[in-house]
Structure 1
Amino acid sequence: MIQSTRFSSLLFLLVLPLLSFAQSNEDDQVLFQLDSEPYGIKAFNYYFLKNAEEPSADSAKIKVNEYLDLYVNFRLKVKEAIAQGQDQTPEFKEEFEGYKKQLAEPYLMQTKVNEQMVAEAYQRLTQEVSASHILIKSDEQANPEDTLKAYNKALDIKNKILAGADFETLASQVSDDPSAKQNGGSLGYFSALQMVYPFENAVYQNQIGDIVGPVKTRFGYHIIKINDKRKARGQVLVAHIMIRAKPDSLSMATAKSKAASIYDNLKKGASWDEQCKLYSDDVRTKPAGGKLQWFGTGQLVPTFEDAAFALKETGDISEPVQTRFGYHIIKLIDQKGIASFEEMQSELETKISRDSRAKDKKSVAITKLKESQYFEINPIVFNQLANYFDSTLLTAQWNNEQSQTNGSKVLFTTNNTDYTLQLFFDYVEEKQKKRKLTALDTYVNQLYNQFVEKSIFDEELELIEAHNYDYQMVLDEYRSGILLFNLMETEVWNKAMVDSIGLQEFYDKNKKKNYKLAEHVVVRRFVSKDSSVLQSVSTQLDKTNSELDSLFNSQEPLTLQTFEEKIEQGKNKWLDDHWAIGSSVQSGKNYFTLWHVVSIQPDGYKPLTEIKGLVISDYQHELEKQWLKALSKKYPMKLNKSVLKSYIEGFED
């Protein structure tokens, strides 16, 4: 219910302008030239301000010049890709056309319906709904008989509930949602943009206690019970200490006891960061004191969310909370309500463009574009359309045998174009797919609607490409990004991966500078509040850390913490002062630490086999540096200093 391409891996590079065309406007001043090809200040300004905050008068010169270096380097790479003809390969053209259509949609969809959907989504975000559902699966491509069967089954369930049957019991018995057996169909609280659009509509358009449905979504038919509605809780920022354990296991009891002891320590004044660093099993967050990202309702497990939102004052700490991951102690850092419409508008527009409601928006957009393009269908030709097709279309083997006599007939017109049967036949031959469960006339109608949509959008797209500057910039960003990815893959990334001889030579040349390994110790570290515990541990070092953990923590879970580490000289003052094989005990404010140095390893160089990933990355940077140097010679840069100076001075006004 709740809601990559290779190009996505390149997005980190898009913090600099991905511009492939140069001087596109007669009044655009030339900022620089690469081998006589001009690049204007207008595009540079667009991307500079897009990727960074407007600089102050004091910082403008530094920031603009730093960005210019990145920009020029990028332009050099893209220029080389074009010089190699990479923009003419079939692979590039196919990939770029796919992105082009995706990028066009937000511009093609700029209609009133978009504004209405954004306003609707924001209004719904101010309220949270609790609902339960019973799902009867039905495939979107199912034949009418099976669809009707699923609908009638859902309707029968609804009637039983209205007659007095228990919703939760029925959900656990008949719902096709696997989780219903455990939760009786409950979905908890959620808000807008967290469910598919038809489901969202049903819960927001009905009242508490209503039994709604059958509601059709891409998953099937739903019978929905509206349990509650409340004001949105906003978002919360918390930290947590997690003791990991699996549900219904013996370890859960141990985790509960350990969490209770940590909570008791915190209530007695122990440092949160100290307890988190010592005991939390969330290795990703413990270095930062257990801090999580901002979240709202429906983003984490409900029990964790409820405990977090129950905290009222900054610094408040929850009692241990059980989830399916184990036990958590939660500390409130900050909280905030729903942002203003103006602050969320751009984000909502992006989310809606990817949401299932975009289909409705697209339908309205097509209707409006038809009006603006004076779309007119030829009813006589349209009514005869099915006569040109036979059962071979359903097996994707249809071919156009009628084109010589009928291809010139006009199927529909716009203000710019006559769309003939021949154009439609060509489209069908290319796009036809096997359709075992679809009636012939239904499939012909689907292909016709797809052809109309494509034709209408293609016409509008030509106008956008010619006149919409923002779209030109975004489109070129992706075009250049694909070219850059392909070229970097060939010239830098893959070369460093496969050139084992070059990699070895690079390592040998740079190991004294970059890959030195200082003298270091292999240590076992033990932490406890009780020095006598560490005294006992020191007599049993023949046991493994795991064995010691089980031995000392069987009665009191926080008695002993164990670690195994490698630490370089100069990284820990205590070890520096006790740099010898053997044991030493360090006294802290609240804890004692037993350090047992197992071995001392001499200085030298980190072996290539152990740091190959790091060396490959460094080698890639070196290859790129050398390559850019060669490109700078191949395409000399001539900077228009007066234009650059005027641009920088503009930030000082």
Structure 2
Amino acid sequence: MNILRITFLSFFFSCLFVNAQTNTVLFTVDDVPVYTSEFKRVYSKNLDLVKDDSQKDIDNYLDLFVKYKLKIAEAKALGMDQKPNYLREFSSYKSQLAKNYLNDSKVTDQLIEEAYQRLQTEVDANHILVKIDENASPKDTLLAYQEIQKLRGRAINEGFEVVKKDVHNGQTLFAEALGFFTAFKMVYPFENAAYNTAVGQWSQPFRTQFGYHVVFVNNKRKNRGDVTVAHIMLAGDKAEQTTESSINEIYKRIKQGEDFSALAKQFSDDKSSSSNGGKLNTFSAGQLSSKIFEEQAFALSNVGDISKPFKSEFGYHIIKLIDKKGIQSFEELELELKNKIKRDSRSKVINDKRVENLLKAYNVNLTAVDLSPFVSILNDDYFSSSWTIPSTFKGDETLLTIGTKQILQIEFAEFLFKSQRRRQAKVPLNQLVDDNFKVFVETNLKAYQEENLESENQEYAQILSEYRDGLLLFDLMENQIWNAAKQDSLGLLAYYNNHKSNYYYDTRVDAIVASSAKKSVIKKVSKLLKQNWSTDNIKKQINVDNQINVSFIIDTLDATHQALPKGLNLKAGVSNVFKHNDAYSVVKVNSVLPKTQKTFEQAKGSVVSDFQEQKEKDWLLDLTNKYKVTINTEALQQVKEELK
């Protein structure tokens, strides 16, 4: 599933919760009913998420909801719910979702406790991996195991770095330093090996879905918890010397007592945080892509501490510690851990317990099953994948019963026929039958449970329904609007030519912006700017005794730039002194760049977006004419009274 689809469906799920029930019909789309319960649930769930107050109006929201239903009707009319790609992706999601509802709670509780205990500790590890397919042949599996044993021996005798340099190719052999991590950061078998191996030791070889690994534990330490920081960043794409000098100037102003938040608003190149005084979202170890930044953040001890300027992969930073917390209590984390475990293959124990429970729930009696007929029809051809079911084997008798479903002998025979493609190791035929029968029973138990899960579990049914329509809606919009608009080059150009007045560069200025925490300093700077002093000479005059009293931004700025206050009169010359972003500033405008028409290429991104919006409006009008929508006004009035 691509990123766009994930984003679209995530938004869709936050807004809709579709599960029609048999009650009052609110409206119909070509006689297909939509019920009041569904609308009320959707409206109530979405109410706090909607930022546009007009959509909180019930009539306006109903209009949006009707349009949504029109799109679903159109998707089905076009047969998009029968397309192989849609069915395949929906089936994949259904299978993934079902995993969250199929396991034993007691086993899950034990894993929650284990996970919480592991969260107390961070592990720093290196690993070596011999990559093999999950369904590799016994011969290839043995070779991979022998290879990882050999590499483990070399790592013990020669050292990890030597082995890494010699064998790592990033394809079949991996030797990597992983840094610190904690529970849920690695697949469960890997996590087990890391936590169960002592510091300074190599683990024994173990297998995951990726292949065979060995892990070396460099260190274990108490989990440092979560940290919240603010930062000022100067991007690394600027001249190195200039950037380093600028970050040091800002640092001196902080040490002189100027407000960190105000300086972040004025100078930080991280636009996602500068307007908020540089504050970042809370993070824990291993969450950031920059280890340098993470280590600097966790190195700060007390709230309010400020780092010295340092360089990361993204530029120069100064960090201020806002908050630092240890691991939350078990009670606070329990639900989060439970949800993580539902999505995480924590242990084979969960699967085994599930099978045990299903055998009881569906009254499956395995003791009465006679497997001797299957032993009698097998031979050594099975191990060369050339065995066939004898023509004399009818297999029309019931082998076992799962719930209300009877499974015939021929179904297991066909399972054996297909399973020979797995190239199973040669074992006695009775053992072969027993091993395959266990897999066969487990497969059918799970399939039966999943087939009936929608009727057995209401929550599962509701989530599945919303995904079914959400996926359908995405495919429809992608096909009818998004891709169609992008590919219509003539339509885009015509739209641009008809709406040129919408695409232009606003007035900009070639300017110098000076800022200081002291009004008296900015007044002096204003006078010097009026006298056409250079910024370098002004700094020499003002920033004396190792004090940074003024800083400058020299650039081409638009009227919305963070350094300029709203309503500033953009004209050549030196402005009045003004207070902005918790500091005093003055602007010298060297020249004003007037409003300029954008070319088609310069405006293309906006043109595509606007064209898509217009195309969707026209399309929705066509759908309104195509499908008959009938509103039950009495039901709508009742809904309004209830929602008030």
* Cα offsets for 1:579-628 (capped at 9, x unmatched): 35xx758767666655332x644x56543332122122122222222332
Superposition pairs for residues 222-261 of structure 1, below 5 Å? 222-225=214-217, 227-230=219-222, 232-243=223-234, 251=240, 259-261=247-249
CA distance in 2, matches of 1:617, 1:60: 22
Decide whether the 8 Å contact of 2:17 with 2:466 is kept in 1: yes
AA partner of residue 189 (structure 2): P
1:115 corresponds to which residue? 109
CA RMSD across the alignment = 4.7
Deviation at 1:313, TM superposition (A): 4.8
Deviation at 1:267, TM superposition (A): 0.8
- Tell me which of 93, 104, 112 is aligned to 2:87: 93
- Tell me which of 480, 483, 486 is aligned to 2:469: 480
CA distance in 2, matches of 1:507, 1:324: 39
Matched, 1:30 2:25: yes
Decide whether the 8 Å contact of 2:253 with 2:548 is kept in 1: no
Q: 486-495 or 97-106, which moves further after superposition?
A: 486-495
CA distance in 1, matches of 2:271, 2:205: 45
Decide whether the 8 Å contact of 2:202 with 2:216 is kept in 1: yes
CA distance in 2, matches of 1:151, 1:600: 66
Superposition pairs for residues 459-538 of structure 1, below 5 Å? 459-512=448-501, 514-515=502-503, 520-521=507-508, 523=510, 525=512, 535=532, 537=534
2:283 corresponds to which residue? 295
CA distance in 2, matches of 1:508, 1:462: 55
Decide whether the 8 Å contact of 1:16 with 1:67 is kept in 2: no
Deviation at 1:362, TM superposition (A): 3.4
Superposition pairs for residues 74-473 of structure 1, below 5 Å? 74-109=68-103, 111-125=105-119, 127-135=120-128, 137=130, 139=132, 141=136, 143-150=140-147, 152-153=149-150, 156=153, 170-174=159-163, 187-205=178-196, 212-217=203-208, 218-225=210-217, 227-230=219-222, 232-243=223-234, 251=240, 259-277=247-265, 279-282=267-270, 284-300=272-288, 301-321=290-310, 323=312, 325=314, 327-339=316-328, 341=330, 344-357=333-346, 361-375=350-364, 376=366, 378-381=370-373, 383=375, 387=379, 390=382, 393=385, 400=388, 402=390, 405-408=393-396, 413-420=401-408, 422-424=410-412, 439=425, 451-473=440-462
* Cα offsets for 1:447-497 (capped at 9, x unmatched): 766654442222112321223222222111122122212322333223322
1:8 corresponds to which residue? 6
Deviation at 1:7, TM superposition (A): 3.5
2:62 corresponds to which residue? 68
Decide whether the 8 Å contact of 1:254 with 1:557 is kept in 2: no
Q: Secondary structure at the match of 1:97?
A: helix
CA distance in 2, matches of 1:78, 1:201: 46
Matched, 1:626 2:618: yes
CA distance in 1, matches of 2:29, 2:188: 50
Deviation at 1:364, TM superposition (A): 3.4
Decide whether the 8 Å contact of 1:407 with 1:420 is kept in 2: yes
AA partner of residue 118 (structure 2): R
Decide whether the 8 Å contact of 1:208 with 1:229 is kept in 2: no
* Cα offsets for 1:227-252 (capped at 9, x unmatched): 3342x433222111235569xxx95x
- Structure 1 residues 257 and 503: CA distance shift in structure 2, 3 A: closer
- Structure 1 residues 634 and 346: CA distance shift in structure 2, 3 A: farther
Matched, 1:567 2:558: yes
Decide whether the 8 Å contact of 2:395 with 2:409 is kept in 1: yes
Q: Secondary structure at the match of 1:33?
A: strand
Decide whether the 8 Å contact of 1:245 with 1:326 is kept in 2: yes
Deviation at 1:445, TM superposition (A): 8.9
Deviation at 1:298, TM superposition (A): 2.4
Unaligned runs of 5+ in 2: 517-523, 538-545
- Structure 1 residues 560 and 424: CA distance shift in structure 2, 3 A: farther
* Cα offsets for 1:205-262 (capped at 9, x unmatched): 56667765445444533244373342x433222111235569xxx95x8866654443
* Cα offsets for 1:618-645 (capped at 9, x unmatched): 2222222233233334333333444444
- Structure 1 residues 587 and 429: CA distance shift in structure 2, 3 A: farther
CA distance in 2, matches of 1:76, 1:136: 52
Superposition pairs for residues 48-59 of structure 1, below 5 Å? 48-53=43-48
- Tell me which of 605, 609, 633 is aligned to 1:617: 609
Decide whether the 8 Å contact of 1:121 with 1:192 is kept in 2: yes
CA distance in 1, matches of 2:424, 2:152: 25
Decide whether the 8 Å contact of 1:366 with 1:453 is kept in 2: yes
Decide whether the 8 Å contact of 1:129 with 1:204 is kept in 2: no
Deviation at 1:329, TM superposition (A): 1.4
Q: Secondary structure at the match of 1:366?
A: helix
Deviation at 1:102, TM superposition (A): 1.9
Q: Secondary structure at the match of 2:454?
A: helix
Deviation at 1:81, TM superposition (A): 1.8
Q: 473-482 or 109-118, which moves further after superposition?
A: 109-118
CA distance in 2, matches of 1:318, 1:378: 73
Identity over the aligned pairs, expressed in percent? 31
Decide whether the 8 Å contact of 1:242 with 1:329 is kept in 2: yes
Q: Secondary structure at the match of 1:195?
A: coil
Deviation at 1:297, TM superposition (A): 2.1
* Cα offsets for 1:164-197 (capped at 9, x unmatched): x8xxx82323356799xxxx98755432111222
CA distance in 2, matches of 1:592, 1:576: 11
- Structure 1 residues 93 and 392: CA distance shift in structure 2, 3 A: farther
CA distance in 2, matches of 1:81, 1:463: 27
AA partner of residue 407 (structure 2): Y
CA distance in 2, matches of 1:556, 1:137: 58
Unaligned runs of 5+ in 1: 541-554
Q: Secondary structure at the match of 2:359?
A: helix
